[in-house]
Amino acid sequence: MSRFFTSDIAGDTARITGEDVRHLARVLRLRVGDTVEICDGRCTDYTGVLTAIGQDEAICALSGAHPSPTEPHHRVTLFQALPKTGKMEVIVQKCVELGVAAVVPVVSERCVAVPTRDFENKRVRYQRVAAEAAKQSRRGMIPQVAGVLPLRQVDFSAFDTVLVAYEEERATTLKAALLSGAGERIALIIGPEGGLESAEVERLRAAGAVSVSLGPRILRTETAGMAMLAQVLYELE
């Protein structure tokens, strides 16, 4: 069954607009009377029956509201140091499929890539990637891709647990850190291609973060976030 996100819901009626209307009518060739799945983007799903399809909007009659069954119980935010060109889209896409709650691009000391004045255009593109991945993986919400921030300026006080993937960590594994109790709001920090500087890790530790090992092999930055997220959700859920 085709799935669409819309927050334009009033009572038992939903309105679908934008590119989804073209996709619905021209690509999927849905017609009035066809059944679709509607998600309000706030983790509630509905069964929808198309009652009208116009040029710019489609109208659905809704029934059977129920919580989205695909959302993780833990809210995990990925703080990803900016990678080289072309890698961020893959990171966003795969982490949304895996269950990330939000992605925050950050700039650390060793970042080769630096944000340009047109980064907002890139962020909009990343957000579209997140939306498509959320539809494909039947998520109950569309994870947000934030604007870029310097890592040293990020406030992690809203998180129950902050975990830093650090290749020099020898004592604490990711699993061991999670066994001590992670809470519901978890931040994962991934460095750039050259890794995080030791001073950055020490600063994060001083603020309450825990540095962890992801195993004996060194992962690329575009692999590390996906692997860490998958391991966290596996251990906790």
Please state, in angstroms and as integers, the Cα–Cα distance from residue 24 to each residue in 29, 46, 92, 150, 223, following that order. 6, 17, 25, 40, 34
Mean pLDDT of all residues belonging to the chain: 95
154-168 per-position pLDDT tens digit: 999 999 999 999 999
Report the amino acid identity of residue 135. K
Residue 122's H or E segment, with its range, is helix 119-136
Strand pairing class (35-39; 44-53): antiparallel
**Alpha helix locations (H) across 23-71?**
none
Burial pattern 202-232, b for ≥16 Cβ within 10 A else e, equals eebeeeebbbbbbeeeebebbbbbbbbbebb
Pick out the chain residues at pLDDT < 70: none
**Per-residue confidence (pLDDT) for residue 180, from 0 to 100:** 78
**Per-residue confidence (pLDDT) for residue 237, from 0 to 100:** 87
**Per-residue confidence (pLDDT) for residue 86, from 0 to 100:** 85
Q: 159's torsion region: left (phi>0), alpha (psi -120 to 50) or beta?
A: beta
Separation CA 236–CA 183 (nearest Å): 10
